[in-house]
């Protein structure tokens, strides 16, 4: 068995690891969407859709009749659902939270929290079907990066009050992130020529074997010395000729 000091050290390590893995709840909110303005329209749209399904299933062993009886409770659940929805944009992710009552509210609620990292977001699509257009309801669909992922993996949210403003905020944040990445890459590329300029002087000091550039410099030095010799000989010949003339 370990001593008390070892147990205390293990507990402190576990606490530190848990604190590192906990999400940052104090992250800044860049834009928050609203659902309250669309509550009545959303409830009407969902109620009409439910009634259409119930009328189609009315002849199927009485299932449609049970759905018609369930309409008031359905409306109550829809209002609780849309009032609990929160959708906001952080510098690194899109966060969607909802507390949805179960089909029979006496059995509790279902909590759902979805975090979509901005690096995995390809686009934010604003959709509106025919029945949605009658009630002014929009849907937001967050597309993921990657062709292999099925469309069912996309996050779809209904009832957002101003979906175009939220999409604009997300796309602006994505463009800013891409510009930051591009500026970092450009700064690293600018540092590369400076390092290359500094490296030849260091290699001349440490490398014992001559490179191609060193051989070229040696040849140029030899040519320069030979040219100087020819100039000195030519000057001597001129001086001798002048002395003979005198």
- Domain-embedded: residue 60: yes
- Domain-embedded: residue 124: yes
Residues 201-217: pLDDT tens digits? 544 444 444 555 667 67
CATH number for the domain harbouring residue 46: 2.30.29.30
CA distance linking residue 76 with residue 79, whole number of Å: 5
pTM of structure: 0.63
What is the enclosing helix (H) or strand (E) of 155?
Answer: strand 155-158
Instruction: Count how many residues are written for the chain.
Output: 246
- Domain-embedded: residue 206: no
Split into its structural domains, the chain has a count of 1
- Domain-embedded: residue 238: no
pLDDT of residue 238: 61
5, pLDDT greater than 60: no
225, pLDDT greater than 70: yes
pLDDT of residue 206: 47
Tokens at residue 68, please? 């018609």
CB atoms within 10 A of CB 34: 15
- Domain-embedded: residue 196: no
Full residue range of the structural domain in which residue 157 is found: 26-183
Average pLDDT for 80-104: 92
Q: What is the DSSP letter of 50?
A: H
CA distance linking residue 17 with residue 172, whole number of Å: 34
- Domain-embedded: residue 17: no
């Amino acid at each position: 068995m370990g001593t008390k000091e070892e147990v205390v050290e293990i507990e402190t390590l576990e606490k530190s690891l848990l604190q590192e893995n906990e999400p940052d709840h104090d992250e800044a909110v860049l834009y928050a969407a609203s659902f309250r303005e669309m509550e009545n329209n959303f409830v009407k749209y969902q109620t009409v859709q439910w009634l259409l399904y119930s009328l189609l299933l009315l002849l199927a062993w009485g299932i449609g009749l049970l759905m018609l009886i369930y309409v008031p409770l359905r409306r109550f659940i829809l209002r609780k659902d849309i009032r609990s929805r929160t959708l906001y944009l952080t510098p690194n992710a899109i966060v969607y939270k909802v507390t949805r009552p179960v089909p029979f509210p006496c059995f509790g609620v279902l909590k759902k929290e979805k975090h979509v990292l901005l690096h995995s977001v390809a686009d934010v699509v604003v959709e509106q079907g025919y029945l949605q257009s009658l009630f002014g309801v929009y849907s937001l669909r967050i597309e993921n990066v990657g062709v292999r992922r099925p469309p069912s993996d996309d996050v779809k949210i209904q009832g957002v009050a101003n979906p175009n403003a939220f999409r604009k905020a997300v796309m602006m944040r994505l463009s800013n992130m891409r510009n930051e990445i591009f500026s970092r890459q450009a700064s690293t590329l600018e540092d590369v020529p400076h390092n290359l300029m500094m490296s030849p002087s260091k290699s001349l000091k440490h490398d014992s074997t001559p490179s191609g550039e060193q051989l070229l410099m040696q040849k140029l030095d030899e040519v320069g010395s030979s040219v100087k010799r020819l100039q000195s000989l030519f000057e001597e010949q001129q001086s001798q000729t002048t002395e003979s003339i005198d």
